[in-house]
Chain A
Amino acid sequence: MVICDASACTDCAKCIKVCPPNALRFPGAVEAAPHMLAASNGSGPSGARLTGGGWASATVREIQEKARTGKHIVRGCGTTRRLPTLDDLVLLPAGLSRMPVDTYREAAVTRTVLGARFASRPLVIETPIMVAPMSYGAISREAKLALAMGSARVGTAMNNGEGGLLPEEVEHSYRQIVQVCPSRFGFSLRNLELADAVEIVFGIGAKPGLSGHLMAEKMTAEIAAFRGLPPGIDLASHPRHGDIFGADDLMVKLQELRQITRGAKPIFLKVGAGRVYEDVKIAAKVGVDGITIDGMQGGTGAGPVIAIDHLGMPTLAAIVQATRALEDMGLKDEVSLMVSGGIRDGADVAKALALGADAVLIGTGAMVAMGCTVCLECHKGECEFGIGTQKPELRERLNVKLAAHRVANYFTAMTNELVILAKACGKRDVHNLEREDLRAVSLEACAMTGVPFLGTDYTFTQPFGFFG
């Protein structure tokens, strides 16, 4: 028999899980509860066995955490839910009906041109794979620099994210997409002057409908000064653009930005995948050069779990909706379509391109290339690989040159994979991949995309394009 001292108990519930019920006694536990609340880190004074009963242990832990704090739970990275992905599609290779292209001896086109609709100087990159926006603040200065150097080695673009534009980021990147975020942290006319392309942000895939978050652990004096904020605050960023309150305003705003950029630089618009069809139609109508759709599998530095797991649309469905919208408007060949959210390898890229994307953006994958293990703890600022942290002692763990090399290798390998798949499908240009090259391996994907079920030329729900 163990008599527990309630005044010393931290409510971790470990003893309850380990010992049989009759081995423990909690004299005065209920009375002690009020003064234990501050130190509590467990399941409550009487404890509860994690017996399951249809409740997943993660669910039980989340409820206990919410019961302890009275707050919604915040964490980093994207959703951990099982959602339909691009893995639910396969590519049909060439054979006799269509001849393949020699995988290792014939040239292939990967060069990608984005934003040529109205801009006189569109964005030209050597691979349709770009670095997704990750803000200075969410990730370290060293990580930003490594992404810039890595993307430059393969001749592609990086996107700066919300937290301003670091001088070394501009210096070392090959092409820079500069975001115009609602908060305008670290933003001024200078950012537009330095940009190769401009992106107006209306949401991100990990938490569409919500603003950016940067927890106090990362709001160091340096980050705060760069953003013009007080240090040490938990930031819930600006929810809306102060100078764009609707589509009509956006049309005028675009004219303003075109004047500032002399009509040379492409102007993109980014939305988190939600009401994709309608959003894309509005964006195309108001006159952007390109649209970025960030699917539900996209990552974030910090966000409410309830939003990460339950808001938005999987990338797979979002690409189809976006393509469909542009085709319905007759603008598919004019407006560039970029996609992000859970893209991991060349197969994902090939399938995204086949569904209608012109390019993809990689965030989490690029961080993994630098050492990230997707521990979902970015919000704590304790990243032991020096990526999602602002602590000097952790930042110095990141070898910038090595990380840049690994990012470049990852992008190169992914582009190689893309080329292998495209050639196997009989395409010399990766942009010639088409939806006719695809089949769905699951009924969900078939229904969601309109791509025929494997072994058939048929789908149910709304057909997508080449048949029906």
Chain B
Amino acid sequence: MVEELDLEGLSEAALNERLQALAGRGGQVVLHNTRARHNLVVNVSGELDVAIQGSAGFYCCGFMNGPRVTVTGNVGWYAADNMLGGSLTVGNNAGSNLAPSMIGGLVLVHGSAGSRVGYGLKGGTVVVIGNVGMLTGQQMLGGRIVLLGAAGPGTGESMYGGAIFYRHGALAASGTNNRARGLEPDETGWLAALLAEHNLPLNPDEFECLAPTPGKQKYHLFKPRLDAREKAV
């Protein structure tokens, strides 16, 4: 049975409590009049399909564990923050800092995402079909990020764990403390299955991977450029 909820006059806290009550029983919920409100589907755990008709604001699906959420429009910054499980599928674009400190689950963005996708990511999978801004996967601890479009500078900056998959030539510049490598056999299989599951007509052969540099990280405070010359005005 599909339950239709109009958010007009309903607070975010009341909505999330309602969703949590429904999550115990499974089922489907369609949310209308979301008007990019913040904190939608926060701390909801259990089996539930949630369809957001429109856009969501900040922290959509934060601390969520279990529900499958689709958003027809955009999501704001920090979507899927600290998410533990379930999935968030975004029809359009996502703001910056998508899936910060996410622990598990799947985030799939059909459009583009801003900077710092997967900041401090711990686990789960983040897929962005469009382009992403700078510093994707900064200081991520684990999990996997799959980028189908172009990526801005600083990708994989100081990553401690996990992997970032990107298409050949799509990286503007990677950050420090990571290294590019080919895909391991298990990663190839996993990526092929992921692409097929989401009807993305690409071959894992088109991808390479950023992984952490083994050993201690290098930090940069001062790096003199001894070959620098004053630019003529």
Query: Which residues on A are within 8 Å of B, measured CB to CB?
Result: 72, 183-184, 187-189, 192, 216, 227-230, 232-234, 236, 238, 241-243, 245, 249, 252-253, 255-256, 258-260
Contacts and interface: CB of A to CB of B under 8 A. Distances in A.
Contacts of B116: 242
Instruction: List the 3 shortest-distance A-B pairs measured between CB atoms, nearest first.
Output: A242-B100, A242-B119, A184-B101
Contacts, number: 98
A233 B160 contact: yes
A183 B122 CA distance: 11
A188 B42 CA distance: 14
A256 B77 contact: no
B16 interface: yes
A188 B64 CA distance: 11
Greatest chain B CB density within 10 A among A236, A241, A258 is at A241
A235 to B, nearest CB: 8
Interface of B: 12-13, 16, 38-39, 42-43, 57-59, 62-63, 65, 77-78, 81-82, 84, 96-97, 100-101, 103, 116, 119-120, 122, 139, 141-142, 160-161, 212, 214-217, 219, 221
Greatest chain B CB density within 10 A among A234, A238, A242, A253 is at A242
10 contacts: A188-B82, A232-B216, A242-B81, A245-B96, A253-B58, A253-B59, A255-B13, A255-B38, A255-B39, A260-B63
A243 B101 contact: yes
Contact of B160 (A72, A229, A259, A260): A229
Contact of A230 (B81, B82, B161): B161
A135 to B, nearest CB: 16
B84 A249 contact: no
B42 A260 contact: yes
B78 A249 contact: yes
Contact of B120 (A72, A188, A242, A258): A242
B19 to A, nearest CB: 11
A19 to B, nearest CB: 37
A395 B221 CA distance: 34
B217 A234 contact: yes
B39 A188 contact: no
Contacts of A228: 122, 141-142, 160-161
A236 B219 contact: yes
A242 B160 contact: no
B39 A256 contact: yes
Given A242-B120, A252-B59, A255-B38, 15 more contacts: A184-B82, A187-B82, A188-B84, A189-B82, A227-B141, A230-B214, A234-B216, A238-B139, A243-B62, A243-B101, A253-B58, A255-B39, A256-B38, A258-B13, A260-B42
A252 B78 CA distance: 11
B78 A243 contact: yes
B88 to A, nearest CB: 15
A229 B141 contact: yes
